[in-house]
Amino acid sequence: MNHVIAQMGLRVPDVAAYTEHVEATLGVEAIEADATGARLALPGQSPCLVVTAGDGAGLEYVGFWTDEANLAEVADRAEAAGVQVGEGRVFGSVRLLAPNGLAVELAAGSAEPRNTQRREGGPTVGSLDHVSLQAADLDSTVGFFVDVLGFRVVDSVGSVRHWLSCGPNHHTVAVFAGTDSLHHYAFEADNVLELQRLGDRLALRGQNFVWGPGRHALGANIFTYHLDPAGALLELTSDMIQIPDDGSWVAQVWSPDTPASAVMWGPYPTPEFREMTIPIVAGEAQA
């Protein structure tokens, strides 16, 4: 079952500051914006970010493209599993509520072409790539993604961190044990040179990476992380493992006793890195 991550809703304290940041550093441009909110998109794509002004940062929803058959099946499985399901409000036609409070919206559609429009002085960002969540009830939240939405677990660290796939990308959602929250959201780029361009762009603006560049062991993707103006961790990633659709992938369970799964090369994260979360704005599925 394929889904494609398409859009995120973020609550941000300062819409103008957020919009300026993602335009200048990622090339995600405002389609419409005022003091109360903004819809932001990569060139030639539909909006990947919908931000609304509010007190403090928060993750409001994540939207996925899926196909018509999946939409009906997901709704049936949600009702059978006792998961709240209602009409979509912002992105999709269906809205489901995950056990960690995250609203997930599904819309009929398929992946849009990656952006390749080069931006001088900054990275060329292809598309929104993945989200990393935390959940107080980890097993139920992973179960929601697997049993209701049809994701599969592709790698784990012990029983406390799981990486979930819904297409070729090694992971589109990760869920770690913790408070119900968003740990980071990620855009993808072609290669590490684009990550270098982001670093240069941030440095000229007086900002540094919080972690990276480095290469994760799980997923093998190269990464940088920095804080957006709302205080959410934003990853730019490249070269993630693409899993063949032939059943040959064997999920691994990595040891939780070493940080080896986190990084192959580059520094280890600081202890504070794991705590850099923003809350999930717990949604209701029903209007």
| Residue with token string 């109360």 | 36
| Pairing, β 152-157 against β 161-165 | antiparallel
CA torsion 141→145→149→150, rounded to 10°?
-140
| Nearer to Fe ion (CB atom), residue 121 or residue 259 | 259
H or E segment and range at residue 106: strand 103-108
- 91 CB-near residues (< 8 Å, 6+ apart): 6, 7, 9, 50, 61, 63, 105, 107
Instruction: Say how far apart CA 213 and CA 74 lie, in whole Å.
Output: 37
Binding mask 125-154 for Fe ion (x = CB under 5 A): -------x----------------------
Question: In the bound complex, what is the minimum distance in angstroms from residue 200's beta carbon to Fe ion?
Answer: 21
186 binds Fe ion (CB under 5 A): yes
| Nearer to Fe ion (CB atom), residue 59 or residue 94 | 59
29 binds Fe ion (CB under 5 A): no
| Residue with token string 């406390």 | 160
Question: In the bound complex, what is the minimum distance in angstroms from residue 186's beta carbon to Fe ion?
Answer: 5
**Among the listed residues 178, 275, 283, 187, the one whose alpha carbon sits nearest the alpha carbon of residue 231:** 275
Single out the segment in contact with Fe ion by CB under 5 A; choices: 48-56, 63-71, 92-100, 235-243: 235-243
Question: In the bound complex, what is the minimum distance in angstroms from residue 225's beta carbon to Fe ion?
Answer: 8
Site for Fe ion in 68-107 (CB under 5 A): none
Single out the segment in contact with Fe ion by CB under 5 A; choices: 13-21, 156-164, 183-191, 278-286: 183-191
Instruction: Return the residue of 29, 105, 155, 235 that touches Fe ion, per CB under 5 A.
Output: 235
| Nearer to Fe ion (CB atom), residue 17 or residue 160 | 160
